[in-house]
Structure 1
């Protein structure tokens, strides 16, 4: 069987070469690499093994119905949460100026810059977006109150993605 490092080397060699497809078979393993596709396939032929099949009791219809009803209840709760969302038409969206990682605080031990209900001015730092080891402080851009924080600490954010909703004063 090939080791992970050997497979990586094969991938690197195929990538650097002009071939578009590579198949490697040894004992009970087969590796097939295709270039210029989004999928790299690694297949392993299973060794012949004896399989013991045990009979499993079938679930009762009543239990299945209960699970379906719980799922319906959760779906209704989600719909209610969506209906309770805040009208964002009069709110200012603080957006990410770059792709990076969102941080609510200057360090893991520190308190967040802002929380829901915090009063901010246009120069108040509300978070940090880290890109390529550079920590960029993001300002509120408007005087007002933080109504909602739209991303979680440590989450990757895209350019232009809303981070906060601020109710302007």
Structure 2
């Protein structure tokens, strides 16, 4: 068996040399040394192997999607329709109102034709009532929020089918 001083000397010599890995065997005892550069290379290989391991996990999910295949085209059509629609979004955080007062009728309903400057709702923020305009000429396809609902900045309020 090697003494501690001899092991330290071997470590120093391997460190100063261009050797990346050193292995010594004598009478059943083994010493294996690797430099940091060799470890970094091994770590890179491990990192590259992880995405390969994730790839087999994806096909196991795909059969579930394939089982629901009849529903998938419906979602695709809905997404295509939604991609053609213009979203009117809230320009601020506040409370959504669909009319100018509780007694008045709503500014717009599903199927209402709007112009770019048509007021479609009010968003109240800090006791100020801000009229929101359609920004596009078209037809209201869907109202995405309820009267009196709190809305966030950028939250979609209406879907409009542009003309």
> Is 1:166 matched up with 2:160?
yes
Name whichever structure is richer in helix by fraction. Answer: 2
Residues matched between the structures, number: 90
Q: Residue by residue, what CA displacement relative to the aligned partner does 1:48-81 show, whole Å, maximum 9, x if unpaired?
A: xxxxxxxxxxxxxxxxxxxxxxxxxxxxxxx9xx
Q: Which of 139, 144, 149 is residue 133 of structure 2 equivalent to?
A: 139
TM-fit CA distance, 1:93 = 0.3
> Is 1:156 matched up with 2:162?
no
Q: Distance in 2 between matches of 1:85 and 1:115?
A: 21
| Structure 2 residue ranges without an equivalent (≥5) | 1-70
The equivalent of 1:123 in structure 2 is 117
Q: Distance in 1 between matches of 2:129 and 2:159?
A: 22
Q: Distance in 2 between matches of 1:85 and 1:153?
A: 25
The equivalent of 2:91 in structure 1 is 97
Equivalent residues in 2 for 1:4-153, closer than 5 Å:
87-153=81-147
Q: Distance in 1 between matches of 2:78 and 2:97?
A: 24
Q: Distance in 2 between matches of 1:116 and 1:151?
A: 12
The TM-score normalised by the length of structure 1 is 0.50
Q: Distance in 2 between matches of 1:99 and 1:151?
A: 13
Q: Distance in 1 between matches of 2:78 and 2:94?
A: 27
How well do the aligned residues superpose, as a CA RMSD in angstroms? 2.0
Q: Residue by residue, what CA displacement relative to the aligned partner does 1:103-153 show, whole Å, maximum 9, x if unpaired?
A: 000000110000000000000000000000000000000000000000000
Q: Distance in 1 between matches of 2:78 and 2:141?
A: 11
Q: Which runs of 4+ in 1 moved over 2 A?
A: 82-87
The equivalent of 1:11 in structure 2 is none
The TM-score normalised by the length of structure 2 is 0.52
